[in-house]
Amino acid sequence: MSTPSIWQEVEFGSYSADLPLWVELAAAADGPVLELGAGVGRVALHLAGHGYEVLAVESDAELVEDLERAAELRGVSLTVIGGDLAAPEELRVSPAPALGIGPLHVIQVLDAKARGPLLARLREVLAPGALLALTLVDESTLLSTGAASKQILPDMRELQGWVYSSEPLWVQVGERALTVRRLRERVSPEGQMDRSIHDEILYRVDPETLEREAMEAGFLPAGSRQITSGDDEADSIVLLLAAPR
């Protein structure tokens, strides 16, 4: 398992609040599921394990290899597509997906200039009548629960004798972006420790703005769903969009 995969597994691998929704939407879709920003396959492998055809898009070459290896080890069928969401014109998908999903706020990794071209490309590659589900941070819960300032216990994993820890230090709510700062630590089997600071940047966009951008790309509004994450994390809003038939 490569270093990017390890930190993805440490920080996001145990999150499961959204999985029932993705299974529900996949069950209702009449065709393949396209996942944007698959990472280590938290969602893609889960859906593939339920027997759904999954096309997983990931830009990091090491994560692509690790995801393909993980699918082989689990004995599930999964198509991994190397692709950068910031360069959507290069995205090639076949067969046309009946469902597109963007878990864990992947759409907020892109700023407003990059979201428009991605939405336009998704309108082209998704099948007529397909559903697109994009997750956004529910900022009302981020601020009202105190998640932006309270101390949260670190996420930890032990892999091959190494102990990995990722502690969220703070969430900064800026005018244009949310910045999540984490202290990453790893301890070798011999007891040597490495420390680093990692910042995750999520560009702020509310559901109304994203819906308007999607409509400009040719999608139709199809409602929204709420994901309750628990006391230590902000909730999420899943915006639903439909490709015209």
Mean pLDDT of 200-206: 97
Q: Which residues pair with 55 in a beta bridge?
A: 34, 79
pLDDT at 231 > cutoff 80: no
Residue 16 sits in which domain range? 3-138+205-242
What local confidence, expressed as pLDDT, does residue 191 receive?
A: 94
Identify the DSSP state of 84: -
**Domain CATH for 107:** 3.40.50.150
Identify the DSSP state of 78: -
Mean pLDDT of 221-241: 92
What local confidence, expressed as pLDDT, does residue 175 receive?
A: 95
What local confidence, expressed as pLDDT, does residue 234 receive?
A: 86
Q: DSSP readout, 97-150? A: PSEEEE-TTGGGGS-HHHHHHHHHHHHHHSPTT-EEEEEEE-HHHHHHTTTTTS
Give the confidence band of 148 by pLDDT, cuts at 50, 70, 90.
very low
Mean pLDDT of 129-155: 77
| Tokens 């689990």 sit on residue | 74
Give the confidence band of 51 by pLDDT, cuts at 50, 70, 90.
very high
Domain count along the chain: 2
pLDDT at 45 > cutoff 70: yes
HSE on the CB side for 152, CA within 13 Å? 25
Same domain, residue pair 150 and 189: yes
Which tokens in the block code for residue 96?
């046309």
Q: Which amino acid is at 104?
A: L
Q: What is the pLDDT of residues 75-119, one digit of tens each?
A: 999 999 999 999 999 899 999 999 999 999 999 999 999 999 999
Same domain, residue pair 196 and 218: no
Same domain, residue pair 194 and 234: no
What ranges make up the beta strands (E) of the chain? 33-36, 54-58, 79-82, 99-102, 131-137, 155-159, 162-173, 177-187, 193-203, 220-227, 236-242
Mean pLDDT of 193-204: 96
Same domain, residue pair 133 and 154: no
What local confidence, expressed as pLDDT, does residue 152 receive?
A: 67
pLDDT at 130 > cutoff 70: yes
What local confidence, expressed as pLDDT, does residue 1 receive?
A: 65
Give the confidence band of 149 by pLDDT, cuts at 50, 70, 90.
very low
Same domain, residue pair 163 and 188: yes
Same domain, residue pair 105 and 217: yes
pLDDT at 147 > cutoff 60: no
Same domain, residue pair 163 and 236: no
Mean of the per-residue pLDDT values of the chain:
93
Same domain, residue pair 126 and 193: no
Same domain, residue pair 124 and 182: no
Mean pLDDT of 51-63: 95
Same domain, residue pair 161 and 55: no
Give the confidence band of 143 by pLDDT, cuts at 50, 70, 90.
low
**Domain CATH for 195:** 2.20.25.110
pLDDT at 146 > cutoff 50: no
Mean pLDDT of 16-23: 97
Same domain, residue pair 58 and 172: no
Same domain, residue pair 99 and 173: no
Mean pLDDT of 47-60: 97
